[in-house]
Amino acid sequence: MRIFEASTAPNPRRVRMFLAEKGIEMEYVQVDLLKGENISPQFREKNPIAKVPVLELDDGSYLSESMAICRYFEALQPEPALMGKTPQQQAVIEMWQRRCELYFMNAVGMCFQHSTGYFADRMKPVKEWGDECYTGAAKFMHLLNKHLANSTYIAGESFSVADITAFVTVDFARVIKLKMNEEYTHLRRWYDLINARPSARA
Amino acid sequence: MRIFEASTAPNPRRVRMFLAEKGIEMEYVQVDLLKGENISPQFREKNPIAKVPVLELDDGSYLSESMAICRYFEALQPEPALMGKTPQQQAVIEMWQRRCELYFMNAVGMCFQHSTGYFADRMKPVKEWGDECYTGAAKFMHLLNKHLANSTYIAGESFSVADITAFVTVDFARVIKLKMNEEYTHLRRWYDLINARPSARA
């Protein structure tokens, strides 16, 4: 198995953190996004959506979508559980993972792309939409800080994939100059807790 | 248990179809989105993201995010499996579910909101972004048609939650006047197959 990825992009980092938490070794192959290697016909055969990361399985097939890759390894090697054990834990983790992804990570990503024109060779940046996404991401950060006043981790009292998504996004948010403000003491407490895990360096 | 939802919205329909496939009875409570019942402080206590559907559990807690609700019932009642059994099946279904959701369903939803100003009282519609989303959704429909030339269902040879997301989105796409064009014979074959299931009426 090996993973095609881009080491500086947030989605591949989620998968690297997930695998580090599981203690799973992996071979990584870099794809140059700025040069457009991911939008080449060769890469589209691996993933028609043209995004990284992509996992190549030993049977020669390809798996894409970060959370699908994580779910594959969660099923292959359930311990330590990062997606919950009981039905309710699984659902609460999925709920928070999706909230952090849809309303925070994706908002930061769209703000970055639409505000900077980073991928203007392959998409049409809409500045006004980038601004809306910034507002959305900032609101979610506020909500997250409030939520973490009563919860050790994002989805309860255990570390989970929801923490990975939120942590990677807080770091990634620097590219749009969205920072944890000093009043966000709960978010800061949680950030330092996650940042102390060896997987944060993955 | 009961679910707060809006019967005409696409996300609640995904959950109703999922539960119908499982044969699980449910009580549904309607929330008036146009009147803004979902953005009231009372509703935000159920779901701070202010979206439907929301599942109220018997312990008084709330679960939101359609796919988290579906995952809860998949874990509670694994048969019939709609999210895969083996690690690889689970991952492939998750990959296609996410592709259909992120690049099709969400694109149609954003096109609708940004082009029509349907929720202009609570968000800022960006017409140009709505147009981009239309283009993205149309491209994904094209990709889906090609994919279905070689696959009975979206994620292989079994019906899954990925079919639910794609099917609900094809229907929902009428609101942005995006239709299956006549050349999309594979997509049409698949649509008729899913539409013949009793759950399509849920």
Q: Are the C-beta atoms of B144 and B97 separated by less than 8 Å?
A: no
User: Considering only residues 88 to 107 of chain B, which have any Cβ-Cβ distance to chain A shorter than 8 Å?
Assistant: 88, 90-92, 94-95, 98-99, 103
Neighboring chain A residues of B147 at a CB cutoff of 8 Å: 48
Low-confidence residues of chain B: pLDDT under 70 = none
What lies within 8 Å, CB to CB, of A202 at 6+ separation is A13, A16, A17, A19, A20
Q: How far is B32 from chain A (nearest CA, A)?
A: 22
ipTM of the complex model:
0.97
Q: What's the rounded Cα separation, in Å, for the pair A142 and A126?
A: 25
Q: Confidence band (pLDDT; 50, 70, 90) for A182?
A: very high
Q: In chain A, what are the domains?
A: 2-76 (3.40.30.10), 87-201 (1.20.1050.10)
Kindly identify which residue of chain A lies nearest to residue B59, measuring between CA atoms.
A88
Closest-approach residue (CA) in chain B for A71: B91
- What six digits make up the tokens of B84? 């895969």
Angle between helices B185-195 and B161-172 (to 10 degrees): 110
* A30, two tokens: 């870099």
Please say whether the dihedral angle defined by the alpha carbons of residues A129, A131, A135 and A136, taken in this order, is positive or negative.
positive
Q: Can you give the pLDDT at residue B186?
A: 98
In this complex, is the C-beta atom of A119 within 8 Å of any C-beta atom belonging to chain B? no
Q: Which of B68, B94, B143 sits opposite A71 (nearest CB)?
A: B94
Interstrand relation of A27-30 and A2-5 (parallel, antiparallel or unpaired): parallel
Phi, psi at B189, each rounded to 5°? -55, -50
pLDDT band per the 50, 70, 90 thresholds, residue A190: very high
Q: List the single residue in B87, B92, B132 with the smallest CB-CB distance to A76.
A: B87
The pLDDT of residue A6 is: 98
Separation CA B99–CA A51 (nearest Å): 11
pLDDT digits 0-9 by tens, A23-49: 999 999 999 999 999 999 999 999 999
Q: Is B24 on the interface with A (CB under 8 A)?
A: no
Residues in chain B closer than 8 A to A86 (CB atoms): 75
B24-41 pLDDT, tens digit each: 999 999 999 999 999 999
DSSP state of A57: P
B72 touches A at CB < 8 Å: yes
Residue A54 bridge partners (DSSP): A4, A64
Cα–Cα distance, A7 to B114 (Å, whole number): 34
pTM over cut 0.90: yes
Which positions in chain B touch A49 (Cβ < 8 Å)? 99, 103
CB pair distance less than 8 Å for A65 and B95: yes
Which pLDDT score, from 0 to 100, does residue B130 have?
97
Q: Which residues contact A59 (CB under 8 A, 6 or more apart)?
A: none
Instruction: Kindly determine whether residue A64 and residue B90, on different chains, have CB atoms separated by under 8 Å.
Output: no
